Amino acid sequence: MERLDGMLAYERQYGWASFICGVDEAGRGPLAGPVVAGAVILPKELKILYLNDSKKLSEKRREELFPEICEKALSYGVGIVSPERIDEINILQATYEAMRQAVKALKEEPQVLLNDAVEIPGISVNQVKIIHGDAKSLSIAAASVIAKVTRDRMMAEYDKLYPEYGFGKHKGYGTKAHIQALKEHGPCPIHRKTFIRGILRDEEDKGGTGSQDE
């Protein structure tokens, strides 16, 4: 409870605002799949037990917290940007786009955005950029859980469509098993072409089959 109380410092600092929204993303680094953003407005002084940066939580704990956050939040929104769009505009711009979608999906209009490490262009709301914000703000931590669970569930569904890549386990990140599968099978429709060029080029240089799509 002491940790949770400390994670309300930014929310209290901007307590003049009627609605304070935490914003975070999941999936900037993977070789495959979408980037997903979450935006969450929590009631003031609400402490959700065990809530923390999603990366510090087990998958089981995140799944338990997800419905509780959705139930207790005054409003929450999700933004999803596809691998094709990531390739088109780059991952940073795609992340901003997902965050704008998530904020736009809110039922309430926030006066302050608490963002994990970024300032989102194209939004007129007051923004506070907090480095490691998902470990310092409960609002951002809640957004990180919403984004992470949403994306992980999507990757589990993609795993059923493309079982040879192991998306259910690594969620599209560049693990050794994922890279090996990519070299063996080439890319599938959800791979980010701009992220895997180097891997496929290395394979071609070695005389491998590479990809028909590149």
CATH fold of the domain at 2-159: Nucleotidyltransferase; domain 5 (3.30.420)
List pLDDT tens digits, range 179-208.
999 999 999 999 999 999 999 887 766 654
**Six-digit token string for 188:** 């599938």
Q: Which amino acid is at 43?
A: P
Given a contact cutoff of 8 angstroms between Cβ atoms, the answer to whether 85 and 97 are in contact is yes
Q: Which amino acid is at 74?
A: L
Cα of first residue to Cα of last residue in the chain, in angstroms, is 52
CA-based max dimension of the chain: 63
- pLDDT score at 204: 65
pTM, rounded to two decimals: 0.93
Give the residue extent of every domain in the chain. 2-159
List pLDDT tens digits, range 152-172.
999 999 999 999 999 999 999
